[in-house]
Homo-oligomer: A and B are copies of this chain.
Amino acid sequence: MLDQIHLLAAVTVLGVLEQAYFFLQVIYARRAYGISPPKTSGPPEFERVFRAQVNSSEYFPIFLAILWQAGLFFHQGLAAALGVLYLCARYCYFMGYKASSSERLIPIYISSGVLWVLVAASALGILRFFLSHYVGLNIL
């Protein structure tokens, strides 16, 4: 069973490490701008880092959910490759947003695009399984 998920598992652990990096960036920004918890507002430089982390955290379960469906029902290698691409785009998004609000835009479009490809792969893979399982129709 593990050989059907080991690439997905590796990308998942990479994703967790990236999230950990984003959390650390917020801690550093809190220290740099003197914003103690539970406060979350401050100068735009702090708020951009904070929002970049929050946005990445909100997308993380969505990313994992769709990565695994695409890997299980469509193709593990392709899903894992797209997953790595997504994590790279997220990193660029975080670094771009840290610099300025506008610099987050291109990476967020790329990361959203990758997610839509994963959604399409998942939907196609699940549809193929349904057709094969309930109708007996095998499409490639």
On whether the beta carbons of A72 and B9 are closer than 8 Å, the reply is yes
Q: How many residues does chain A have at the interface if contact means C-beta atoms less than 8 Å apart? A: 48
Q: Report whether A12 and B65 are in contact in the complex, using a CB–CB cutoff of 8 Å.
A: yes
By secondary structure, the A interface counts as helix
Whether B40 contacts A51 by the Cβ 8 Å rule is yes
- What are the interface flags for A38-54 relative to B under an 8 Å C-beta threshold, 1 for contact and 0 otherwise? 11100010011011001
Binding site for B on A (CB under 8 A): 1-6, 9-10, 12-13, 15-17, 19-20, 36-40, 44, 47-48, 50-51, 54, 57-58, 60-62, 64-66, 69, 72-73, 97, 101, 104, 115, 119, 122-123, 126, 129-130, 133
